[in-house]
Structure 1
Amino acid sequence: MPLESNARVVSELASRGYNAEREAVTLLAGAERPAATLEAVVDAAPDDALRITADHVRAVVDERSDGPADDPAPPSRDSDDPDPSPTNPDPSPTNPDPSPTNPDPSPTEATGSFERDDENGGSPVETKGSGDAVRDGSDASSAPEPGSASAPADPSRRELEIANDMTGRSTGTGEYDDFVRTFRDRYERLSKLLRGRVNHRPATAIADMPGGSEAAMIGLVNDVRSTKSGHWLIELEDSTGTFPALVMKDKGLADVVDEILMDECVAVDGTLADDSGILFADSLHFPDVPRSRVTGGADRHVQAALISDVHVGSDEFVADAWSRFTDWLHTPEAEPVEYLLIAGDMVEGVGVYPDQDEELEIVDIYDQYEAFAEHLKEVPADTEIVMIPGNHDAVRLAEPQPGFNEELRSIMDVHDARIVSNPATVTVEGVDVLMYHGVSLDEVIAELPEEKASYEEPHKAMYQLLKKRHVAPQFGGHTRVAPEERDYLVIEDVPDVFHTGHVHKLGWGKYHDVLAVNSGCWQSQTDFQKSVNIDPDAGYAPILDLDTLNMTVRKFT
Structure 2
Amino acid sequence: MAGNMKAAVEMVLNSGFQLSPDAFEYLASRHDPDRLVEAALKTIKGAGSAPLVLDRSYFESIESASKTVVPHDCGHISAPRPISSPDPVIGAESERPMKSITSSRALTSGLPSSRNGQNVKPPPDSKPFEEDGIRLISGLERITIKGKASDFRDYFRDRLASLSSILRSRADVSGATTASHVPEGLKWHKVKFIGMVNSKKEFRDGTVVVELEDEDGLVKVTFRGDDAIKKKAARLLVDEVVCVLGATRNGSSVIAEDVIWPDIPYKSRSIPPSPDHAYAVLTSDVHIGSKTFLRDDFERFLGWLRGETDEPRLNEIASRTKYLVIAGDLVDGVGIYPNQEEELDVADLYDQYKIAAEYLSTLPDRIKIIIIPGNHDACRPTLPTPPIYSDYAAPLYSMRNVLMLGDPSFVNLSGQTFLLTHGRSLDDVIPFLPDCNFREPQRAMVELLKSRHIAPIYGEKTPLAPEPKDRLVIDPVPDIFHAGHVHVEGIAEYRGVLVVNSGTWQSQTKYQLSAGIVPKPSIVPVVDLATTKAYELNFT
CA 1:52 to 1:422, structure 2 compared with 1: closer, same or farther past 3 Å? closer
SS in 1 for 2:524: strand
Of 138, 145, 149, the match for 1:172: 145
State the structure with bigger RCO (CA 8 A, min sep 6), 1 or 2.
Answer: 1
Matches within 5 A, 1:288-303: 288-294=263-269, 300-303=276-279
2:251 partner letter: S
Partner of 1:19: none
Taking a change above 3 Å as real, the CA distance of residues 280 and 251 of structure 1, as seen in their structure-2 partners, is farther
Residue 465 of structure 1 aligns with which residue? 448
Determine which of 247, 254, 261 is the counterpart of 1:279. 254
Q: 1:384 aligns with which of 362, 365, 368?
A: 368
* Structure 2 counterpart of 1:51: 94
Query: Which of 532, 550, 553 matches 2:515?
Result: 532
- Aligned counterpart in structure 2 of residue 310 of structure 1, from 283, 286, 310: 286
Pairs within 5 Å for 1:251-290: 252-273=228-249, 275-290=250-265
C-alpha distance in 2 between matches for 1:171 and 1:521? 32
Question: Are the counterparts in 2 of residues 189 and 492 from structure 1 also a CA contact under 8 Å?
Answer: no
Deviations 1:496-537 (A, max 9, x none): 111010000011010111111101111111222212222211
C-alpha contact (below 8 Å) 1:295/1:431 kept by paired residues: no
Which residue, 178, 183, 188 being the options, matches 1:212?
A: 188
The structure with the larger Rg is: 1
**SS in structure 1 of the partner of residue 235 of structure 2:** coil
Alpha carbons of 1:296 and 1:286: their partners in 2 closer, same or farther (altered >3 Å)? Answer: farther
- 2:154 corresponds to which letter in structure 1? R
Q: Distance in 1 between matches of 2:377 and 2:498?
A: 26
* Whole-angstrom distance in 1 between the partners of 2:149 and 2:513: 39
CA separation in 2, counterparts of 1:224 and 1:52?
57
Contact 1:499/1:516 (8 A) holds in 2: yes
The residue that corresponds to 2:410 in the other structure is 425
Q: How far apart, in 1, do the equivalents of 2:384 and 2:150 lie?
A: 18
Question: 1:283 is paired with a residue of what secondary structure?
Answer: strand
C-alpha deviations, 1:321-350, integer Å up to 9, x for none?
A: 111111111114211101011000010011
- 2:217 matched to which residue of 1? 241
Partner Cα distance (2:180, 2:304) in 1: 62
CA distance in 2, matches of 1:443, 1:408: 29
Classify 1:215/1:472 alpha carbon distance in 2 versus 1 (closer, same or farther; 3 Å). Answer: same
Find the aligned partners of 2:327 and 2:391 in 1 and give their Cα distance. Answer: 20
Instruction: Return the letter of the residue paired with 2:158.
Output: D
Matched residue type, 2:257: D
C-alpha displacement of 1:367? 1.2
> Do structure 1's residue 401 and structure 2's residue 385 form an aligned pair?
yes
Matches of 1:290 and 1:373, distance apart in 2: 39
* Closer, same or farther: CA 279–50 of 1 in aligned 2, 3 Å: closer
Displacement after TM superposition at 1:295 (Å): 7.2
Q: Is the 8 A contact 1:213 1:271 kept in 2?
A: yes
Give the aligned length: 408
Counterpart CA distance in 1 for 2:465 and 2:130 is 38
Distance in structure 1 (CA, Å) of the matches to 2:349 and 2:303: 27
What is the RMSD computed on CA atoms of the aligned residues?
2.5
Q: CA contact under 8 A between 2:206 and 2:230: conserved in structure 1?
A: no
Once the two structures are TM-superposed, the CA of residue 443 in structure 1 deviates from its matched residue by 1.4
CA distance in 2, matches of 1:390, 1:501: 9
Matches within 5 A, 1:312-391: 312-331=288-307, 332-333=315-316, 334-391=318-375
Shift of 1:437: 0.3
Listed one character per residue, the Cα deviations across residues 45-101 of structure 1 (whole Å, up to 9, x for unaligned) are: xxxx973699xxxxxxxxxxxxxxxxxxxxxxxxx99xxxxxxxxxxxxxxxxxxxx
Alpha-carbon distance change, 215 to 361 in structure 1, aligned in 2, over 3 angstroms: same
Which shifted more, 174-183 or 191-200? 191-200
Deviation at 1:410, TM superposition (A): 2.1
Letter in 2 for 1:404: I
Q: Secondary structure at the match of 1:408?
A: coil
- Aligned positions of 1:18-33 closer than 5 A: none
Aligned 1:26-41 pairs, distance under 5 A = none
How high is the sequence identity, in percent, across the aligned residues? 38
Q: Which residue of 2 aligns with 1:162?
A: 136
1:245 offset after TM fit, Å?
Answer: 1.3
Alignment partner of 2:379: what SS?
coil
Aligned to 1:406, the other structure's residue is in SS state coil
Deviation at 1:250, TM superposition (A): 3.2
Partner-residue secondary structure (3-state), 2:302: helix
- Secondary structure of the residue aligned to 1:442 is helix
Residue 447 of structure 1 corresponds to which residue in structure 2?
Answer: 432
Amino acid at match of 2:136: I
What SS does the corresponding residue of 1:380 show, helix, strand or coil?
coil
State the distance in 1 between where 2:93 and 2:412 align. Answer: 30
Q: TM-score, normalised by structure 2?
A: 0.72
Is the contact between residue 232 and residue 249 of structure 1 (CA under 8 Å) also seen in structure 2?
A: no
SS in 2 for 1:412: helix
Cα separation, partners in 2 of 1:367 and 1:211, compared to 1, 3 Å: same
Structure 2 alignment gaps of length 5 or more: 1-91, 101-128, 308-314
Deviation by residue 1:382-438 (Cα, 9 ceiling, x = unmatched): 211111000001112111111022323422122431111101111101101111100
Tell me by how many angstroms 1:463 deviates.
0.8
CA distance in 2, matches of 1:288, 1:295: 22
Checking the alignment, whether the CA contact within 8 Å between 1:303 and 1:545 is kept in structure 2 is: yes
Helix, strand or coil for the counterpart of 2:466? Answer: coil
Q: CA deviation at 1:172?
A: 1.8
The more displaced of 224-233 and 367-376 is 224-233
Structure 1 pair 352–205 and aligned structure 2 pair: CA distance change class (3 A): same
Structure 2 counterparts to residues 108-119 of structure 1, below 5 A: none
